Amino acid sequence: MIEVVDLVKQYGEVVAVKGISFSATRGVTGFLGPNGAGKTTTMRILTAYAPPTTGKAVVAGYDVFEQSLEVRRRVGYLPENVPLYRDLTALEYLMYLAEIRGIRQRRERSYQSLARVGLEKRAESRIRTLSKGMRQRVGLAAAILHEPEVLILDEPTIGLDPLQVLELRKLIVELGKEHTVLFSTHILSEAEQVCDRVIIINQGEIVAQGTPAELRQQLERGGRVMVRVARDASGLVPALASLPSVASVEPFAEGLLVAPRSQDDDPRPQIAATVVASGASLIEMRALAINLEDIFIELTRQYTPAVQETPQPVAEEVSA
């Protein structure tokens, strides 16, 4: 159980997290956002590694700042770059953490934890000799060692090969059945596959949250529609702009970009009818939905497409 209220984290002048609020219960909650969105910062606050500047975070029933030790007892954390002691064997590493955690039957529990991530055969291998995917799993085994109520995994699938990614996702889904799992990623499709709930964060603010299906719907509806016709489309602008459900129309690539007036009113049927009625042949029409890769590109290139109202938008093309 994670409960976050108005969380702010400031590093000097930089505000990394700008007052976010959310809660997560049993199951897998995805924390989605481009690099630098504030995911790691938030996770570090939730694991009591660093305190929030203001705001409150309660994890497993304890305040991360006031009752840091209690929180740390109940949280399993896999940091982004998976720091490990490379000179130890996987088993030794887990036993070391188990001793600090005060776990009895350290060897058995460590071994079980390794078996859970499918690494029992490499228990005696030095971590330095393990592949990246195996190390990631050692890190995960370390995070679940003490059967924590809350599991926090920072980009656990990054840098793995496709097969390893699939295995790890399966494991995360599995873990979500018993634990509250918060896991971050910047891959939209990954969040859709693995998560029961998704929280999208960008520039330190939550821009959307809900189940993957809700989110997809919401984003598609809220997004603009791209229209392409067989001939020059500029003649269609006045007709489309006058539709009640359409807010604005502008040229875009080889077609038109139509922005809807409201989130709930899908303008596509009307657009299609108008285009056909004008005698033009409709070649393509699709909704432009939010995509993280595009948010990322937008942020890094300082390129802002037509959307202005919210910092939210943007991107990938989802076929309508």
What is the rounded distance in angstroms from the CA atom of residue 259 to the CA atom of residue 110? 56
Closest CA to 101 of 122, 77, 83: 77
Residue 132 or 261 with smaller CB distance to other proteins: 132
Closest CA to 125 of 160, 87, 162: 87
Give the total of residues touching other proteins (CB under 8 A): 30
Footprint of other proteins on 50-69 (CB under 8 A): 50-53, 65, 68-69
Footprint of other proteins on 111-170 (CB under 8 A): 142
96 touches other proteins by CB under 8 A: yes
Q: x/- binding map, residues 25-54, to other proteins, per CB under 8 A?
A: -------------------x--xxxxxxx-
79 touches other proteins by CB under 8 A: yes
Those residues whose C-beta lies under 8 Å from the C-beta of residue 123, and which sit 6 or more positions away, are 89, 90, 91, 110, 111, 114
Closest distance between other proteins and the C-beta of residue 102, in Å? 5
Residue 181 or 208 with smaller CB distance to other proteins: 181
Closest distance between other proteins and the C-beta of residue 220, in Å? 38
Query: Which residue pairs, CB below 8 angstroms and at least 24 apart, start in 204-209?
Result: 204/15, 204/16, 204/17, 204/18, 204/20, 204/37, 204/38, 205/18, 205/19, 205/20, 205/38, 205/311, 206/20, 206/21, 206/22, 207/310, 207/311, 207/312, 208/290, 208/312, 209/22
Q: Which of 72, 109, 135, 186 binds other proteins (CB under 8 A)?
A: 72
Closest distance between other proteins and the C-beta of residue 312, in Å? 29
Residue 89 or 202 with smaller CB distance to other proteins: 89
85 touches other proteins by CB under 8 A: yes
Report the alpha-carbon angle 257-217-16, nearest 5: 85
Closest distance between other proteins and the C-beta of residue 222, in Å? 37
Footprint of other proteins on 284-303 (CB under 8 A): none
The per-residue DSSP string of 184-211 comes to EES-HHHHHHH-SEEEEEETTEEEEEE-
Q: Which residues bind other proteins (CB under 8 A)?
A: 10-11, 44, 47-53, 65, 68-69, 72-73, 75, 77, 79, 81, 83-85, 87, 96-97, 99-102, 142
